[in-house]
Structure 1
């Protein structure tokens, strides 16, 4: 294999934005600087890890939590009648 072409692979903490729970694992994102220039880190059990915020994890995903997110609470028929009138 070629030397010095592979990204840095190391420990990183992923933080769920919805619940705040941390998941410590290994990733190539560990050696990648953030876009704003800041180096966000978090301490877990006395060890400092770079932290990456994610929107959805198994801790907040509706499939794993058993709660459904309703995006459209209005039914299709009601929406049609409201839009085009009751006689349509």
Structure 2
């Protein structure tokens, strides 16, 4: 590796909008994020799935064919 061309890594404080904070290594000293592993639906298990149906189901419903 060449010397003097790589960015220097510093300890970075990451803050989420949910209030969770943690530290990582980064080129920036502070990061603010909107979603983390503590509030993301995939990791919390509170994922909502809505069955809206496809285009055919909407057509049948619209014209009373269902």
Larger relative contact order (Cα-Cα within 8 Å, sequence gap ≥ 6): 1
CA, structure 1 residues 4+65, in 2 after alignment: closer, same or farther (shift >3 Å)?
same
**Of 32, 47, 52, which aligns to 1:68?**
47
Map of 2:20 onto structure 1: 21
CA, structure 1 residues 66+5, in 2 after alignment: closer, same or farther (shift >3 Å)?
same
Deviation at 1:68, TM superposition (A): 0.8
Point out where structure 2 has 5 or more consecutive residues left out of the alignment. none
Deviation at 1:62, TM superposition (A): 1.4
Point out where structure 1 has 5 or more consecutive residues left out of the alignment. 31-49
C-alpha separation between the residues in 2 aligned to 1:68 and 1:9? 35
How many residues matched?
63
Output the aligned Cα RMSD.
2.2
C-alpha separation between the residues in 1 aligned to 2:9 and 2:38? 24
TM-score (norm 1): 0.56
Give the greater-gyration-radius structure (CA): 2
Q: Which runs of 4+ in 1 moved over 3 A?
A: 79-82
